[in-house]
Chains A and B, each alone.
Chain A
Amino acid sequence: MELFRDINIDWLGKKWYLLAFSLVFSVAGIFSMLFWHKIPYGVDFKGGTQVHVSFDRTPSEDRIRSAFDAAGIKDAKIQAVRGDQAARPEVLISLPEKSDATGFDARAAVLSALQANYHDGGFKVESSQTIGPTAGEQLRHQALFATLYSLLGMLVYLWFRFELIYGVAAVVAVFHDTLITIGAFSLTNQEITLTVVAAILTLVGYSMNDTIVVFDRIRENLATARRETLSTVVNRSINQTLSRTILTSGLTFLTVLSLYLFGGEVLHGFSFALVVGILIGTYSSIAVAAPMLVAYQDWRIAKGKAASLPGGKRA
């Protein structure tokens, strides 16, 4: 079986459409991050308490809320979650951050409020997490730096393996993926937790893969093609590697999709990030990274410098 053969799509001719597509999603994400849902940090990043409770019978949110009101707990966020155990409906109770000193107190408060005032049947605490504001802030810094270092690492590696401009193009493409993925979390108002950041970092590495496959081919083609224009070479390289790009991403997407469908509530955010990220990552290696090389060369020509794009060190 063969899905893609002798494809001849003029990708660079459509660059304005592609650019518009990227812009729409990036800008929508940025707007949501700034003005709508902001960046919906999970409890690990913003601090606070999250208690995961399972009930014998489907609980009514109002009853739980009134149980908390009676115990004097305010601003509790009560949210039913997709149950991990079929028979036991589950609810996620979140309290906003307090001070570093609370520790177990918040968990105990939730527990005793339910014990004292909730009488609709038995319940059980499945998990609980309290993060002090200090730890949350440290984690936010860490996550940011981890992502930046990771991008920097890629840039240096590609610089070493190809040329600086390849590294820059690839990093811009990956940054674009990260931005849109985080934007997707903001738009759908899903919480960004530590595992989501892990997924995003994985994406940084993974979506780089597709880009490298295309770059490798561009380099290979540049070495043999002397009379073609760069955009022809880039177009041809994209088309030649298209089946590879689509297949590899498609297969990884299959596994990630099964993770999203069967992986359970705890991995929901993680697999959502990967589902979105792999789609965007594949798109960006074709539509962002490769055209950037051409744009760079056009810019050099416009500035009157040497026109040829360096093919990079021969592998």
Chain B
Amino acid sequence: MQKKLAGRTGIIVATLVIFTYFIFFGSGLPKKGSVKQLLTNSIHLGLDLKGGTHLVLQVHVAEAVAAQTDSDVARLQADLAKAGVTGAQVAKLDPTKVDIINVANVTAADTAKARGVLNGTSYSSTYDVASVPNGYTLTMKQQSRKEMESTVLQTSIETIRQRVDSLGVAEPVIQQYGLGDNQILIELPGISNADEVHNAIQSTARLEIHEVVGGPAATEAEALQTLGGSLPPDDMVVKGASSVTAAGNSDMFYVLKRVAIVSGTDFRGAQPVRDPNTGQSQTSFNLTSGAGERFYEFTSANVGKGIAVVLENRVRSVASIKSAIHDSGVIEGLSEDEAKNLSLMLRTGSLPASISYLDTLTVGPSLGAASITHGVYAAVAGMLAVMFFMLLYYRGAGINADLALVLNLVILLGFMGLTGSTLTLPGIAGVILTIGMGVDSNVLIFERIREELHLGRAPSAAVQNGFAHAWITIIDTHVTTIVSAAILFLFGTGPVRGFAVTLTFGLLANIFTAVFVSRTIFDAILNRKQRGEALSI
């Protein structure tokens, strides 16, 4: 008995030492620094405590799918012509269904040739081809679409990461977000000036260069008039942004070819420069070699025609092709800031699809600091009240419970330091709740021991029975609370997850402290007592 007790005391002391180490140094080696520094190093504070910005973005992946099918439409039209299928019309008839391409006007004589093109791997691997009278319907395969959407999402995350890094934010979180489809979570600690973030991320929109077919015109209808009233399926009408200088007017409409000549990922480098003659801000860009080739081919064949720089589905600038351009060029008509932003954007690659904000939250540093103070006050007040009550109500055994409670807290914080968990304001509440729930187990045990004593059992037997009976109840109650904490963790976000984590750790630690530690203390006390001496409970 004596020996067993010594072993158990050893385990408890070791736990205490190890977890105290975790609180201050996490899982790393000992470092020097003030207590406060060490604490904030090992236990990460959530955004709500240290201030920062939390964003949830929606990536409009359908746009990227639409861009893909648009370019496939053009490719298919060309391929069919090459194969000698005359008069076939390839188009997307239903603008709401971005993944369906229709082929019409295939004469019976050309069916075999058309089939030959469509059965080529470049189409049949991505599309399900169905025959309809005089034509075909190509529907993008679910699998292909899924893969594409996930690529788009990953590319978007990478692009945003590069941009955020260029802001110099320490420890940003940028990741896929589980709440809905194709969402991105961004957390920027320490950044509470939302405008800075706003500029850097919102300007990460889609950038493309399109051929101009018609316009500028004051209204959409007028723009269409220049093409004879109706919109050809491979064209689109795009509104000019407020600073389009070529037109001199903000709300002009342009008719552009739907398929971009070059787009986001084709840009290799970009610099803000000034026009040596006029002093106007510009952005000069370089294209990747493949895109440069395409651009050269296009511009040499289309000297004199217009090209439009389209940013986030708005025409930003329009220029006419003066001569063949190989792999570099200049975008004119920008303000100084715009030139700088656009260069940054082109350097880091633009997003494959546009984004919108679903959720933005910024917390200033002073509010966070105030929250910490409040949380600590509440925790200390709650803990003192509970400890005082336990002493008052259970006397000697109260000391036992209070010791277990302190150890519970040490293990909880040590756990957090070890795993690098994030402490949020609700997380602090979780710590406080753990204090309250932690003594619950002690109360269950003590009440049971008292009951056993009333039945006339000897102290050691009462303790024995008390623990044995209460144990089952303690497991049941902990499991139910941990189940609800786990569901919170699965469903919750940021601060709420922090709460679920502290609550779960706290309860797990509690099973150890309330049962093992308390029991050891009781045994140690009983060991010293004479036979028949009463237990202080």
Contacts and interface: CB of A to CB of B under 8 A. Distances in A.
Interface of A: 1-3, 5, 44, 52, 54, 84-85, 100-104, 107-108, 124-132, 134-135, 138-139, 142-143, 145-146, 149-150, 153-154, 157-158, 161, 194-195, 197-198, 201-202, 204-206, 208-209, 212-213, 216, 220, 240, 243-244, 247-248, 251-259, 261-264, 266-267, 270-271, 274, 315
B381 interface: yes
Contacts of B357: 100-104, 130, 132
A123 to B, nearest CB: 12
A266 B375 CA distance: 10
Interface string B455-499: 000000000000001001100110111111101101111011001
B503 interface: yes
Given A127-B363, A244-B444, A266 B425 contact: yes
A108 B379 CA distance: 36
B426 A267 contact: yes
Contacts of A274: 433
Nearest to B472: A315
A258 B456 CA distance: 39
A198 B483 contact: no
Interface in B495-533: 495-496, 499-500, 503
A204 B363 CA distance: 30
7 contacts: A52-B367, A125-B362, A127-B363, A138-B179, A145-B491, A205-B480, A261-B378
A258 B432 contact: yes
A216 B393 CA distance: 24
Interface stretch (B16-24, B97-105, B434-442): B434-442
Nearest to A248: B440
Given A201-B484, A212-B473, A213-B473, 16 more contacts: A104-B195, A107-B360, A127-B361, A129-B362, A134-B58, A150-B484, A161-B476, A205-B481, A208-B481, A209-B481, A251-B436, A252-B436, A261-B381, A263-B429, A267-B374, A315-B472
Contacts of A134: 58, 180, 358
B367 A101 contact: no
Contacts of A251: 386, 389-390, 436, 439-440, 443
Interface of B: 48, 56, 58, 179-180, 192, 194-195, 197-198, 202, 356-364, 366-367, 370-371, 373-375, 377-379, 381-383, 385-386, 389-390, 392-395, 425-426, 429, 432-433, 435-437, 439-440, 443-444, 447-448, 450-451, 454, 469, 472-473, 476-477, 479-485, 487-488, 490-493, 495-496, 499-500, 503
A257 B375 CA distance: 13
Nearest to A170: B480
Nearest to A90: B367
Contact of B484 (A2, A202, A243): A202
Contacts of A146: 487-488, 490-492
A253 B386 CA distance: 10
Contact of A270 (B48, B429, B450, B480): B429
Contacts of A243: 447
A124 B356 contact: no
B423 to A, nearest CB: 14
Nearest to A197: B496
B378 A254 contact: no
B492 A255 contact: no
B366 A103 contact: no
Nearest to A244: B447
Contacts of A142: 179, 491
A135 B56 contact: yes
Contacts of A244: 443-444, 447-448
B447 A252 contact: no
Contact of B393 (A1, A126, A195, A315): A1
A259 B428 CA distance: 10
Contacts of B358: 100, 131-132, 134-135
B378 A263 contact: yes
B364 to A, nearest CB: 5
A142 B48 CA distance: 21
B360 A270 contact: no
A243 B378 CA distance: 26
Contacts of B488: 146, 150, 198, 201-202
A255 B381 CA distance: 8
Given A142-B179, A205-B480, A126 B436 contact: no
Contact of B499 (A1, A154, A198, A216): A198
Q: Which of B386, B433, B450 has the most CB of A within 10 A?
A: B433
Nearest to A108: B195
Contacts of B363: 126-127
Contacts of A128: 194, 360-362
Contacts of A264: 370-371, 373-375, 378
A202 B503 contact: yes
A5 B364 CA distance: 53
A153 B360 contact: no
Contacts of B432: 255-256, 258-259
Contacts of B375: 263-264, 267
B244 to A, nearest CB: 21
A267 B476 contact: no
Contacts of A194: 492-493, 495-496
A248 B58 contact: no
Contacts of A257: 382
Given A127-B362, A263-B378, A149 B367 contact: no
- Which of B58, B383, B432 counts the most chain A CB atoms within 10 A? B432
A266 B378 CA distance: 13
A257 B490 CA distance: 28
B428 to A, nearest CB: 8
Contacts of A103: 198, 202, 356-357, 360
Nearest to B494: A194
A289 to B, nearest CB: 13
A131 B55 CA distance: 10
A154 to B, nearest CB: 6
A163 to B, nearest CB: 14
Nearest to A88: B366
A243 B485 CA distance: 27
A213 B444 contact: yes
A127 B192 CA distance: 8
Given A128-B361, A135-B358, A255-B382, A212 B443 contact: no
Contacts of B429: 259, 263, 267, 270-271
A210 B197 CA distance: 48
A126 B364 contact: yes
Contacts of A153: 483-484, 487
B235 to A, nearest CB: 26
Contact of A258 (B180, B382, B447): B382
B360 A209 contact: no
Contacts of B370: 84-85, 264
Contacts of B383: 255
A259 B360 contact: no
A101 B356 contact: yes
A53 B261 CA distance: 48
Contacts of A149: 487, 491
Contact of A135 (B359, B381, B395, B436): B359
Contacts of B495: 194-195
A213 B444 CA distance: 9
